Amino acid sequence: MEPVSSGRNRTGQLNRRQIGARHEEDARRYLEQAGLIWVASNVHFRNGELDLIMRDGHCWVFVEVRYRRDARYGGALASVTRNKQQKLLRAAALWLAQRGGSFETVNCRFDIIAITGTALEWLPNAFNADV
């Protein structure tokens, strides 16, 4: 029988996926405390992934959660490039289409939760479908 991995590497540290999952959970709790309602997490499509899908009243909110240990390379917010935004837009369009909607027929926005070190920054409506 093979041993079951604890998810930690040989030095006892969490791997990247686990660190990301922890920060996505922190972001979800933060947004729920702000009044948003959680709908789904880690929705995968061929062209991208939606970290969090939330509701803010009648508005669908697609949330990209980015974490960087420090700001050495520009911090978490700087990592949401135009290319990343395009991937998120395509994934959100597919998700909406699966539910009979589109950017033209439903109210939605794209938020970013940027975590650099221990500092969390929420940018509501960080970009839109006109990118």
Q: What is the pLDDT of residues 65-78, one digit of tens each?
A: 998 877 777 778 88
Q: What mean pLDDT is reported for the chain?
A: 87
- Percent of the chain scoring above 90 in pLDDT: 63
Domains and CATH numbers, the chain: 16-127 (3.40.1350.10)
Q: Which amino acid is at 91?
A: A
For the stretch 7-53, pLDDT in tens is 554 555 667 777 778 889 999 999 999 999 999 999 999 888 999 99
Q: Tokens 């991995």 identify what position? A: 5
| Total number of residues shown for the chain | 131
Map residue 58 onto helix, strand or coil: coil
pLDDT for the residue 4: 47
DSSP calls for 94-131 = HHHHHTT--TTTS-EEEEEEEEETTEEEEEEEEE-TT-
pLDDT for the residue 10: 54
Task: State the Cα–Cα distance between residues 100 and 60, nearest whole angstrom.
Answer: 14
Whole-number Cα distances in Å, 89 to 10, 71, 77, 125: 38, 26, 17, 13
Q: Tokens at residue 85, please?
A: 């935004």
